[in-house]
A and B are shown apart, each in its own frame.
Chain A
Amino acid sequence: GESVGLHLPTLSVQEGDNSIINCAYSNSASDYFIWYKQESGKGPQFIIDIRSNMDKRQGQRVTVLLNKTVKHLSLQIAATQPGDSAVYFCAPSASKIIFGSGTRLSIRP
C-alpha cells in the first residue's frame, strides 16, 4: 500500500487568510490522490481529488496542487473560515490506503 506523511501536524491561521496544507507521498503508482476533511467527532469526508496526470485542480475555495517530480501535494483553502477547522488527510487512491497522521487546522479569530 501507499504511505503518506504530512509536513506539519498542526497549522494555525487567521480567519480570512489562506491556508496551505502539505502532503508527501512515497509511491507514484496511484492514478488519483484524494483529500479528506475530518471534523471533531466525525468520520473523514471527501473534499477534492486530483488525477495523477493533472498538476492542479480547483474546487469551491479549495485548490489542489500536485508536483509529481518531488512527490508532493498541497491543499490550499482560500479565505479560511471557522468551519474549516478540522484535521486534513491526503490519501493515494489504492485498494489499501495507509493514511498519515493528518494536519490539524485551527482558525484564529
Chain B
Amino acid sequence: NAGVTQTPKFQVLKTGQSMTLQCAQDMNHNSMYWYRQDPGMGLRLIYYSASEGTTDKGEVPNGYNVSRLNKREFSLRLESAAPSQTSVYFCASALLADSYNEQFFGPGTRLTVL
C-alpha cells in the first residue's frame, strides 16, 4: 500500500495564480484532512472531511477550497495564491472509527508563492 500520496511535491506560483493540490489514500479511510505548516510552527487545520460527501472548515480556511472527490481523494485548491500561503501542506487520512483518530500523513507539498 502506498498510504497517503500527495502531488506535487514542490510548486512555485506567482501571486494571483491558482492551483490544486492532490491527495489520495489507499487505506479505505473515512476521514481526510488538509494542514499547513509554516517554518517553526505547528500544524494548522485548513479543511477536513469526516466522511465521503462532507467537508468542514478548520482553523484557517480563508483562501482555500476543497473537494472530496470520492472516498480516496481529497483536493485542496488555491484560487488566487498569495505570498502568505507559502507553506508546507500536509494531507492526512484516518479511519475514524469509534472516535479513534490516528492520522496517517502524506509527505507534504512545499509551496512557494512569489
Q: Which residues of A contact B (CB under 8 A)?
A: 1, 30-32, 34, 36, 41-46, 49, 89, 91, 93-102
Interchain Cβ contacts within 8 Å, total number: 66
Complexed CA–CA distance, A9 and B44 (Å): 16
Contact with A along B75-114 (1 / 0, CB 8 A): 0000000000000001010001011111111111000000
Q: Are A97 and B100 in contact (CB under 8 A)?
A: no
Q: Are B99 and A31 in contact (CB under 8 A)?
A: yes
Q: Are B106 and A49 in contact (CB under 8 A)?
A: no
Chain A residues whose CB sits within 8 angstroms of the CB of B42 once the complex forms: 89, 99-102
CB distance from A102 to the nearest CB of B (A): 5
Which one, A89, A96, A102, contacts B58 given CB within 8 A?
Answer: A96
Complexed CA–CA distance, A31 and B98 (Å): 9
Q: Are B92 and A43 in contact (CB under 8 A)?
A: yes
Q: Which residues of B contact A (CB under 8 A)?
A: 4, 31, 33, 35, 41-45, 48, 50, 56, 58-59, 90, 92, 96, 98-108
Q: Looking at B48, B50, B100, which has the most chain A CB atoms within 10 Å of its CB?
A: B100
Chain B residues whose CB sits within 8 angstroms of the CB of A36 once the complex forms: 103
CB distance from A4 to the nearest CB of B (A): 9
Q: Are A95 and B102 in contact (CB under 8 A)?
A: no
Please give me the 4 A-B residue pairs with the lowest Cβ-Cβ distance, nearest first. A43-B105, A101-B42, A99-B43, A93-B101
Q: Are A93 and B105 in contact (CB under 8 A)?
A: no
Q: Looking at A31, A49, A95, A101, which has the most chain B CB atoms within 10 Å of its CB?
A: A95
- Given A32-B99, A32-B100: A95 touches B92 (CB 8 Å cut-off): no
Q: Are A93 and B100 in contact (CB under 8 A)?
A: yes
Q: Are B101 and A97 in contact (CB under 8 A)?
A: yes
Chain A residues whose CB sits within 8 angstroms of the CB of B107 once the complex forms: 42-43
Q: Are B99 and A30 in contact (CB under 8 A)?
A: yes
CB distance from A47 to the nearest CB of B (A): 10
Chain B residues whose CB sits within 8 angstroms of the CB of A94 once the complex forms: 99, 101
- Given A43-B92, A43-B108, A99-B43: A93 touches B48 (CB 8 Å cut-off): no
